[in-house]
Amino acid sequence: MRRLEMAELILTQADKGQFFEVQRDDVILIRLPENPTTGYLWAIDEINGAVLELEDSDFVPASNAGIGGGGERIFRLSAKSTGTSHVELKMKREWEADVPPIERYDFTTWVE
């Protein structure tokens, strides 16, 4: 039996380190808190590009945030082929090449 529509999996900080199973063409949204005015931004550090494809990365300010306020970084990944992918993100300042990230986030997914 073939599914007629794709599913959407939404991950937050609470899902760090977890394992998830998805189907081809499903979408994975990763929503992590971020405040770009500090210079610290989330970026993908590791992904199996043969299995998952980054479609978009966008910052959405919190509805009550003023100037310089925080919000969420939202990564949109699509499951494009069968296999396993470990996904790791890092939060760091881009210009501090020799400084380790202040935070990491990871999960593993199996695409069926």
pTM: 0.90
Indicate if the pLDDT at residue 107 is higher than 90. Answer: yes
Is residue 33 within 8 A of residue 13, CB to CB? The reply is: yes
∠ CA 63-107-33, rounded to 5°:
20
* Residues 61-91 as b or e (16 or more Cβ within 10 Å = b): eeeeeeeeeebbbbbebbbbeeeebebebbb
What's phi and psi for 69, nearest 5 deg? -80, 165
- What is the chain's mean pLDDT, rounded? 93
CA 25, CA 9: separation in Å to the nearest integer? Answer: 11
pLDDT tens readout for residues 55-87: 999 999 888 867 777 899 999 999 999 999 999
Res 68: pLDDT: 72
CATH of domain 8-111: 2.60.40.2020
With cut-offs at 50, 70 and 90, classify the pLDDT of residue 1.
Answer: very low
